[in-house]
């Protein structure tokens, strides 16, 4: 892999050393460059576990991605530079879902004398990598934690405003094939969060901005503010600074899909509040 286009895309300059300082700078540069987003899934496009496609999509097409793409590309670049990196099978919401969640997230361990956790694929997680040790720490006003869980598991705890409150992982390296079932299931299952929520997150040094369905939010100085989107024009204007690409004629289609889903949830909630008969399928959580 030629990492030059990637380094140019994230604006990284300077010597490429296999040390914690370089890892930290690359980690932050990646998160500040690529948005976390699942808009292609919402539009019926297929995601893969192909490293060539990760480079094409994020660097050449200037798109964002989900954990397999974000951490997949980041780990490939790190390995090309000379870092020793393991990809691990993480489980977002394993605390609630049990082991069926394992593999729905890719986590990275970088070996630098001591093991360092790197994760650019959570969307609203830490801006910097962190050592693999039980601890609590803060980035500005956002608090994070890492603790031992049951058996040989580690549990990462996100800040209070995080969409994913926690994920678990073990220190066992995975191959890309190990993620295949989850990668497919998260795209095909109609109850998958990637099917029921359109998401875009953008990180910078001081804040997290994002769009979940028709809610624009900003997390800054430890506080979250939310604004409801009321029209297509407002949706397009809100989406534009969060991404570096133009969806063109696909954006109105995305908006209509999201608007219809939000409207359906609202009607269901009203029916439940009034005590009317609810549909046979379970209600989705409120992600407006």
The confidence score (pLDDT) of residue 281 equals: 42
- Global pTM reads 0.92
C-alpha distances in Å from residue 9, one per residue of 3, 33, 35, 66, 274: 10, 8, 13, 18, 52
The 10s digit of each residue's pLDDT in 208-231 is 999 999 999 999 999 999 999 999
Torsion of CA 43, 49, 54, 56, to 10 degrees: -80
What are the DSSP calls for 205-218, one per residue? SSEEEEEETTEEEE
What confidence score (pLDDT) does residue 282 get?
39
Q: Cα–Cα distances in Å, from 214 out to 30, 123, 246? A: 26, 17, 19
- Give the pLDDT of residue 276: 56
Residues of the chain with pLDDT under 50: 278-288
Report the pLDDT value the prediction gives residue 269, as an integer from 0 to 100.
73
Predicted local confidence at residue 151, as pLDDT: 84
Joined tokens for residue 168: 């678990």
**Residues annotated as catalytic (active site), given as ranges:** 67, 105, 119
Residue 284: predicted pLDDT:
43
**Cα 288 to Cα 3: distance, rounded to the nearest angstrom:** 39
Q: What is the pLDDT of residues 18-66, one digit of tens each?
A: 999 999 999 999 999 999 999 999 999 999 999 999 999 999 999 999 9
């Amino acid at each position: 892999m030629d990492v030059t286009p990637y380094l140019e895309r994230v604006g990284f300059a300077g010597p490429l050393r296999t040390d914690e300082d370089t890892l930290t700078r690359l980690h932050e540069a990646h998160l500040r460059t690529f948005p976390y987003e699942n808009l292609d899934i919402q539009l019926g496009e297929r995601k893969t576990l192909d490293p060539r496609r990760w480079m094409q999509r994020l660097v050449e097409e200037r798109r964002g991605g989900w954990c397999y793409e974000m951490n997949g590309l980041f780990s490939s670049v790190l390995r090309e530079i000379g870092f020793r990196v393991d990809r691990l099978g993480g489980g977002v919401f394993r605390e609630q879902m049990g082991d069926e969640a394992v593999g729905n997230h890719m986590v990275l361990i970088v070996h630098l004398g001591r093991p360092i956790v790197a994760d650019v694929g959570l969307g609203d997680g830490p801006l910097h990598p962190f050592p693999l040790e039980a601890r609590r720490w803060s980035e500005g006003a956002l608090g994070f934690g890492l603790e031992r869980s049951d058996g040989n598991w580690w549990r990462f705890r996100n800040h209070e405003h995080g969409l994913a409150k926690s994920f678990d992982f073990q220190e066992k390296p995975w191959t890309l094939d190990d993620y295949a079932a989850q990668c497919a299931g998260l795209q095909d299952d109609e109850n998958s969060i990637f099917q029921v929520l359109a998401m875009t997150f953008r990180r910078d040094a001081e804040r997290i901005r994002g769009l979940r369905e028709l809610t624009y939010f900003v997390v800054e100085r430890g506080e979250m503010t939310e604004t409801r989107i009321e029209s297509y024009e407002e949706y397009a204007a809100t989406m534009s600074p969060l991404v570096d690409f133009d969806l063109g004629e696909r954006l109105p289609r995305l908006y209509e899909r999201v608007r219809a889903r939000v409207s359906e949830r609202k009607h269901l909630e009203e029916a439940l509040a009034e005590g009317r008969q609810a549909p046979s399928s379970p209600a989705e959580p409120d992600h407006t």
